[in-house]
Amino acid sequence: ETGVTQTPRHLVMGMTNKKSLKCEQHLGHNAMYWYKQSAKKPLELMFVYSLEERVENNSVPSRFSPECPNSSHLFLHLHTLQPEDSALYLCASSQGLGLQGSQFFGPGTRLTVL
């Protein structure tokens, strides 16, 4: 247990559905991240939140919409996704950004878009 939980662990959705991924950290960290991991590709950073403000958005399509209501929770709202969005979505948290912020990862949500 890393102190970062994600729900659901598995999600299958159609292209017209709307769903949300949830991440919660119990570590008192002030930065949270969403990553996408596709098969045989490196981890891709999607969004970074620091002190509940989005500080990085790595050219992610608008069909992915993050929300950080407080420092312990991070959501990723999904709508009209494409089959190529099927991947493992990982949440992470850290205390601070940069070198002092070792990231703790959640178990991930395995998303399949039909």
Partner 1 sequence: KNEVEQSPQNLTAQEGEFITINCSYSVGISALHWLQQHPGGGIVSLFMLSSGKKKHGRLIATINIQEKHSSLHITASHPRDSAVYICAVRSSLGSGDKLTFGTGTRLAVRP
104 binds partner 1 (CB under 8 A): yes
The answer to whether the Cα torsion of 60, 65, 68, 73 is positive or negative is: negative
| Per-position x/- string for 72-101, each x denoting binding to partner 1 as judged by CB under 8 A, each - no binding | ----------------x-x-x----xxx--
* Residue 52 to residue 39: CA distance in whole angstroms: 30
Closer CB to partner 1, residue 73 or residue 110?
110
Integer Cα distance of 6 and 92 in angstroms = 10
Cα–Cα distance measured from residue 19 to residue 78, given in angstroms and rounded to the nearest whole number: 5
Would you count residue 60 as binding partner 1 (CB under 8 A)?
no
- Contact residues: partner 1, CB under 8 A: 2, 37, 40-43, 45, 55, 88, 90, 92, 97-99, 102-108, 110
